[in-house]
């Protein structure tokens, strides 16, 4: 496996790292075959010409967890944070071949919780598909890592993430304040079966698909921090469950 110290250092310093060979072709085929059988009439599913997405993916389809949490992935999580990490959010994204879906630069500033409460430091509440989302205090966001599992080879032609390295170190960084005389953009190509690990405060974007190829990704967020006792993560699952 890739040198542990290298990718942990890259994640800390740049806000992201890419590991190219985490899942075999057979493992990817089993995951995609499972997804193809999912009931798309569920309330957590959004399907259109431009996007197919399943929110609360692991919670809605727990059987897929055994396919996702392989020995390799568990080893990476162990190296990143020991036994403290737990799942807090999971989404499956399918950017179809003819998608015109474009996402401008942004940070992932919200978490999913079980209810809406008036709590100091928790702001900008929203509800999407019966899920409560809120922007928590900065220290909670800083302790989250995201793992993006790529079910297809992804490059700049089919929606690979474009990121601004080290932007996660600048706390809340408004996209309109990006100084392109100082900042640089990196395109995160990922092989089929590879993963991208990133910090949610990293500024990232995604362009439209131009090469008639899919970009299917399983997005899983992890934390090692508990919320105030009045509030619960909506999808909390410990790694002991897998």
- The mean pLDDT value for 90-102 works out to 77
Is the model's pLDDT at 172 over the cut of 90?
yes
Mean pLDDT of all residues in 112-124 = 95
pLDDT at 49: 45
CA distance 112 to 47: 21
Provide the pLDDT for residue 96.
Answer: 67
The CA distance from 149 to 4, in Å, is 18
For 69-84, how does the pLDDT look when each residue is reduced to its tens digit (9 = 90+)? 999 999 999 999 777 8
CA distance 13 to 163: 13
In tens, the pLDDT along 14-53 reads: 999 999 989 999 999 999 999 988 877 666 666 654 457 8
How large is the C-alpha radius of gyration of the chain? 17
List, for residues 224-238, the tens digit of each pLDDT value.
999 999 999 999 999
Residues paired with residue 39 on neighbouring β-strands, in sequence order: none
CB 19 within 8 A of CB 194: yes
β-strand partners of 205: 162
pLDDT in the model for residue 39: 74
Task: Please report the domains of the chain, with CATH numbers, ordered by start residue.
Answer: 4-38+78-241 (2.60.120.620)
In this predicted structure, what is the pLDDT of residue 241? 76
Asked if residue 112 lies in contact with residue 179, where contact means CB atoms within 8 angstroms, the answer is no
Residue 130's pLDDT band, with cuts at 50, 70 and 90, is confident
- List, in sequence order, every beta strand (DSSP E) within 78-143: 86-95, 103-106, 111-113, 123-128, 131-135
In this prediction the pTM is: 0.93
In whole angstroms, give the CA distance from residue 20 to residue 189.
9
Contact yes or no for 180/147 (Cβ under 8 A):
no
Chain-wide mean pLDDT for the chain? 90
Query: Is 181's pLDDT higher than 60?
Result: yes
φ/ψ of 140, rounded to 5, equals -70, -45
Across 36-40, 50-54, 99-103, 217-221, the highest mean pLDDT is recorded for 217-221
Q: What is the reported pLDDT for 44?
A: 63
How buried is 43 (Cβ within 10 angstroms: 0-12 exposed, 13-18 middle, 19+ buried)?
A: exposed
CA–CA separation, 199 and 147 (whole Å): 9
Residue 170 predicted with pLDDT over 60: yes
Helix 4-14 and helix 71-81: axis angle, to 10°?
60
């Amino acid at each position: 496996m890739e040198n542990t110290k290298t990718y942990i250092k890259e994640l800390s310093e740049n806000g992201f790292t890419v590991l190219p060979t985490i899942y075999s072709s057979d493992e990817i085929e089993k995951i995609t075959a499972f997804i193809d059988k999912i009931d798309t009439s569920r309330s957590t599913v959004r399907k259109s010409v431009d996007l197919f997405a399943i929110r609360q993916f692991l919670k809605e389809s727990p059987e897929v967890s055994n396919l996702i949490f392989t020995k390799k992935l568990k080893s990476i999580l162990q190296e990143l944070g020991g036994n403290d990490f737990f799942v807090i959010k999971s989404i499956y994204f399918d950017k179809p071949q003819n998608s015109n879906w474009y996402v401008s630069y942004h940070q992932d500033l919200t978490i999913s919780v079980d209810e809406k409460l008036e709590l100091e430091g928790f702001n900008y509440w929203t509800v999407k598909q019966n899920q409560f989302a809120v922007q928590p205090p900065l220290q909670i966001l800083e302790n989250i890592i995201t793992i993006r599992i790529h079910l297809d080879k992804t490059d700049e032609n089919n929606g690979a993430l474009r990121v601004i390295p080290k932007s996660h170190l600048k706390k809340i960084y408004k996209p309109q304040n990006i100084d392109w005389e100082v900042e640089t953009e990196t395109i995160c190509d990922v092989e089929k079966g590879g993963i991208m690990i990133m910090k949610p405060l990293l500024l990232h974007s995604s362009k439209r698909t131009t090469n008639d190829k899919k970009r299917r990704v399983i997005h899983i967020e992890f934390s090692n921090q508990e919320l105030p006792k009045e509030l619960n993560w909506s999808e909390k699952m410990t790694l002991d469950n897998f």
